Amino acid sequence: MKIAITGVTRGLGRALAEEFIRGGHTVLGCGRSGEAIFDLRLTHASPHDFSVVDVALDSKVAIWAAKVLENECPPDFLINNAGVMNRLAPLWEQDDREFTKLVDVNIRGVQNVIRHFVPAMVARKKGVIVNLSSGWGRSVSPEVAPYCMSKWAIEGLTKALAAELPPGLAAVPLNPGVIDTDMLRACWADGASAHPKADQWAKVAAPFILKLGSKHNGQSMTVGGFDD
């Protein structure tokens, strides 16, 4: 399988990339950290490929997509994983700059990737788009209102996309569950360590994702065993 993943430099994206590669799949990933991308390139040679891309910048996503889609070979799975968390505070204390940055990455970034990858998948009439949602895309908590908003948006955007796709494709909003990552520690430092690490999660999540297909189009899914 050919798998494109955003946000591969750390957390769930890095763990997924490593697990897919161990499974014999080709991973084409992007992330904002040049140092981490360089490390991935050294560790995983061709046919894997990793690029420095800020998904919030449409022009950068366009260049990355053109590289991945050369030879008219779109990915079998497109996984929008890149995301950021807001600073913990009541909504009225969230400043415009921080709020805009979160929207640019968590929502506009997903649309930028869809805009440049999905036409090739539609033309081939095959492929699965997995947009990482969250338990906070289906519920809410105090002090994370911007993040909740962005993941509720991903749920709606993905379900609407699913209604637009032709037969043979699928768009799935996927709640990864509660995983001990830097993002979780940023908002729940005391409780994060009680949950599985990203590499443990990926051993379950990678095969779960690979089983997603057209019959799951538009369904809100959760990686089994990690939702509490």
Q: What is the pLDDT of residues 135-147, one digit of tens each?
A: 999 999 999 999 9
Distance from C-alpha of 188 to C-alpha of 183, rounded to nearest angstrom: 9
Segment 75-123, tens digit of pLDDT: 999 999 999 999 999 999 999 999 999 999 999 999 999 999 999 999 9
* Whole-number average pLDDT of the chain: 93
Is residue 99 domain-resident? yes
Is residue 53 domain-resident? yes
pLDDT in the model for residue 197: 80
Q: How many domains does the chain have?
A: 1
Segment 148-175, tens digit of pLDDT: 999 999 999 999 999 999 999 999 999 9
Is residue 227 domain-resident? no
Active site residue 147: yes
Is residue 178 domain-resident? yes
CA-based torsion, 139, 144, 146, 150: positive or negative: negative
| 186 Cβ neighbours under 8 A, 6+ residues apart | 85, 88
Is residue 228 domain-resident? no
Segment 20-76, tens digit of pLDDT: 999 999 999 999 999 999 999 999 999 999 999 999 999 999 999 999 998 779 999
Q: Residue 215 maps to which CATH number?
A: 3.40.50.720
Pairing of the two strands 77-80 and 49-52: unpaired
Is residue 202 domain-resident? yes
pTM for this structure? 0.94
Domain of 128? 2-222
Is residue 121 domain-resident? yes
Instruction: Select which of 147, 152, 201, 208 is catalytic.
Output: 147
